[in-house]
C-alpha cells in the first residue's frame, strides 16, 4: 500500500464526513422545533372551550369558530393562518357545505380556462370539478403533523396553489 493510499484510508476513517455532523445538527434542530410546535398546539388545545358536538363527539371553540375537536384540526387551522399567503389575483371560494360548491368550482374552472382547452377536450367533460380545483382541506388533511410536517403542508399548499394562481392570473387578463 502506498503512502498516499494509507493517507486516503486514514482520512476516510478519522475525518468525519462534513454532512454527518450537519445532518445530526439539522435533525436535532428539527426535533426541537417539532417538540416546541407540538407543545404550542397542546397549550392552545388545552385552553379551548369545549361543547358536545352533533357530528363529532366534541366541538372546540377557536377564534370564535366551533371546530371538530382534535389537536390536528387546531394544527391545520393555525398553520394555515401563519403560513398561507394569497396573491392579489387569488380567487378563494368559500361556501357552506351542500350549497353548490361543486357547481361553483366547475364555473370557476371553466371561466379561468375558457381559452386554454378546446371545447371537445375540456377537462370538465371527463373530470369531476372537485378534482380540478384543490381545497384547503385536501392540501392539509393528507399530510400528517405527527412528524412535524408543517413545512410539508405549506409546500403542498404552495405547490398546488401556484398552479391555480397562474390560472387565476390568466383569468384576470381575459
pLDDT confidence of 172, banded at 50, 70, 90?
very low
What's residue 95's pLDDT? 80
Hey, which residues does 60 pair with through a beta bridge? 50, 67
Is the pLDDT at 123 greater than 80, yes or no?
yes
Share of the chain above pLDDT 90, in %: 0
Cα torsion 85, 90, 95, 101: sign: negative
Task: List the grid coordinates of 45.
Answer: 388545545
The 10s digit of each residue's pLDDT in 85-110 is: 777 877 778 888 788 888 988 898 88
Structure pTM?
0.44
Which of these, 41, 35, 40, lies nearest to 75 by C-alpha position? 41
The C-alpha atoms of residue 95 and residue 92 are separated, in whole angstroms, by: 10
The pLDDT of 59-81, averaged and rounded, is: 78
For the record, the C-alpha cell of 143 comes out as 399530510
Question: From the CB of residue 105, how many other CB atoms can be counted at a distance below 10 Å?
Answer: 21
Provide the residue ranges of all domains of the chain, joining segments of one domain with +: 1-83, 84-174
Could you tell me the strand order of the sheet in which 58-62 lies? 50-52, 58-62, 65-68
Q: In this predicted structure, what is the pLDDT of residue 15?
A: 40
Report how far residue 166's alpha carbon sits from residue 118's, in angstroms, rounded to the nearest whole number.
Answer: 19
Amino acid at each position: 500500500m502506498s503512502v498516499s493510499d494509507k493517507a486516503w484510508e486514514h482520512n476516510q476513517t478519522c475525518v468525519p464526513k462534513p454532512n454527518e455532523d450537519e445532518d445530526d445538527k439539522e435533525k436535532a434542530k428539527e426535533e426541537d422545533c417539532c417538540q416546541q410546535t407540538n407543545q404550542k398546539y397542546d397549550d392552545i388545545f388545552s385552553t379551548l372551550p369545549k361543547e358536545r358536538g352533533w357530528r363529532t363527539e366534541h366541538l372546540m371553540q377557536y377564534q370564535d369558530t366551533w371546530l371538530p375537536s382534535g389537536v390536528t384540526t387546531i394544527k391545520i387551522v393555525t398553520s394555515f393562518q401563519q403560513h398561507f399567503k394569497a396573491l392579489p389575483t387569488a380567487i378563494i371560494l368559500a361556501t357552506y357545505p351542500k350549497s353548490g360548491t361543486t357547481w361553483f368550482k366547475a364555473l370557476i374552472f371553466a371561466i379561468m380556462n375558457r381559452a386554454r382547452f378546446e371545447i371537445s377536450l375540456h377537462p370538465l367533460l371527463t373530470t369531476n370539478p372537485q378534482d380540478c380545483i384543490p381545497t384547503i382541506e385536501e392540501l392539509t388533511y393528507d399530510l400528517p403533523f405527527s412528524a412535524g410536517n408543517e413545512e410539508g403542508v405549506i409546500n403542498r399548499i404552495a405547490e398546488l396553489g401556484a398552479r391555480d394562481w397562474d390560472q387565476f392570473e390568466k383569468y384576470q387578463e381575459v
